[in-house]
Structures are given as structure tokens and as C-alpha cells.
């Protein structure tokens, strides 16, 4: 299954509490869920949340640690990966974020903090193709997303798959990373469809 340790934004906008809990385990349907180390799949993912959600998570359990404007959850998601929450001053106001950090790397939380600030201080709002795909994955219900299984050719197995509808009651399944620009636009909320790419920003 393709994985990456790259720090990456997986949702555009401020997630509601329902959206936040849904994104805590965006890969729940992955094959071999209990048979492999999922740390590389989650580590590096981040998204913005509201102040109330940030404070709610702070009060659930005593944090594993608090460092300035960030704290780590005591319960690990998988291996050495856990939730780290950030309160960051960006553009003259405090904004709140959740990220998955692999704490086996003592620099992970600070590197994520820097990456979030760098991404969110760009002068023009924009979304890369990868960010569009990650947002689509984050907002798609489990019933309409999954992973290519044994009925797919071997080179596709384990890749993320979405159901696409063509105006009839039938649907086709297509790999997330193979969506065309038109298919991506059709899956995005209307207010995000016309954001420029970072290259054009």
C-alpha cells in the first residue's frame, strides 16, 4: 500500500467536530488493518480545527506532554504515532490544528508546526492536486471509498479507490490518484473547485 511520511494537509477549511473525529481514522478500511505497521500511513497528516475542538481534546485525558502552544495525546494511534494539537498565531490570530506525529522522531512535532505555519501563511489561498485528492478522501463516506482488493490487477491492490457516479444508478470504482481534473472538480465542494494551484498562486 502506498504510504508517505511527507507532512501533508488533508482537509481544506476548519473541520467540525464530526469531521474531526471522522478524520482521526481516515484509513480505517485499509486491508490488513491489524497485520502491518500503519505509522507511515498516518504520520504527517494535519488539518485545521476550531478552538472548542482543540480545548475538548485537551480535557479528555492529561496530555502526554505540553510544549508551549502544542500538546500530545497520551493514547497512541499506532506504533509511536499520536495526535499533536497546535495553537498557532497566523495572520494576527490564533488558529488550531491537529496533526499525527511519529514521536520516535523527537523533531516531528516541531517540523509539523513549521510546515503548518509555512503552508498557512502563503499570500493566496490555493490547493495543490494532492491536497484536493486528500480533501476528497477526507469528506467521502466510507460506503463510497475503500481500497483495491483481490478483484483488481496486482499493481492496483491496496490503492485508495472511490465510487464515481455517471448520472445513472450505476457507479464505477476508480483509483483516487487517477481521477481526472473534471472528476476532481465534481467531487469537491463548490466553494473549493476554482481555487488556484500553488504554482499559479
Average pLDDT over residues 12-32: 88
Q: What is the per-residue pLDDT across 25-82, written as a single tens digit (0 to 9) for each?
A: 888 777 776 666 677 788 999 999 999 999 999 998 899 999 989 999 999 888 889 9
- In this predicted structure, what is the pLDDT of residue 174? 86
Enumerate helices (H) and strands (E) in the chain, giving the number of each.
6, 9
Q: How confident is the model at residue 125 (pLDDT cuts 50, 70, 90)?
A: confident
- In this predicted structure, what is the pLDDT of residue 200? 42
- In this predicted structure, what is the pLDDT of residue 188? 86
H/E stretch holding 100 reads: strand 93-102
Domain coordinates of the chain in residue numbers?
8-120, 129-192
Q: Which residue would you say has higher pLDDT here, 28 or 104? A: 104
- In this predicted structure, what is the pLDDT of residue 88? 96
Q: What is the per-residue pLDDT across 189-199, written as a single tens digit (0 to 9) for each?
A: 878 777 777 65
Which of 85-89, 121-125, 139-143 is modeled with the greatest confidence? 85-89
Region for 164 from its dihedrals, namely left if φ exceeds 0, alpha if ψ lies in -120 to 50, beta otherwise: beta
Contacts of range 139-142, beta carbons closer than 8 Å, 24 or more positions apart: 139/11, 139/19, 139/189, 140/187, 142/28, 142/29
- In this predicted structure, what is the pLDDT of residue 1? 46
- In this predicted structure, what is the pLDDT of residue 33? 66
Cell 472538480: give the residue: 185
pLDDT at 106 over 50: yes
Amino acid at each position: 500500500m502506498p504510504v508517505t511520511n511527507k507532512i501533508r494537509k488533508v482537509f481544506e477549511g476548519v473541520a467540525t467536530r464530526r469531521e474531526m473525529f471522522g478524520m482521526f481514522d481516515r484509513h480505517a478500511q485499509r486491508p490488513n488493518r491489524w497485520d502491518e505497521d500503519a505509522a507511515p500511513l498516518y504520520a504527517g497528516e494535519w488539518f485545521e480545527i476550531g478552538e472548542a475542538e482543540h480545548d475538548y481534546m485537551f480535557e479528555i485525558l492529561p496530555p502526554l506532554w505540553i510544549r508551549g502552544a502544542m500538546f500530545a495525546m497520551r493514547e497512541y494511534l499506532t506504533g509511536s504515532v499520536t495526535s499533536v494539537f497546535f495553537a498557532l498565531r497566523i495572520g494576527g490570530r490564533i488558529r488550531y490544528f491537529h496533526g499525527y506525529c511519529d514521536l520516535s522522531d523527537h523533531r516531528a512535532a516541531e517540523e509539523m508546526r513549521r510546515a503548518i505555519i509555512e503552508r498557512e501563511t502563503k499570500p493566496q489561498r490555493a490547493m495543490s492536486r494532492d491536497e484536493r485528492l486528500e480533501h476528497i478522501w477526507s469528506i467521502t463516506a466510507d460506503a463510497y471509498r475503500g481500497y483495491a482488493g483481490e478483484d483488481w490487477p496486482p499493481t492496483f491492490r491496496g490503492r485508495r479507490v472511490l465510487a464515481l457516479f455517471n448520472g445513472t444508478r450505476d457507479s464505477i470504482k476508480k483509483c483516487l490518484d487517477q481521477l481526472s481534473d473534471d472528476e476532481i472538480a465534481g467531487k469537491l465542494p463548490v466553494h473549493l473547485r476554482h481555487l488556484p494551484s500553488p504554482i499559479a498562486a
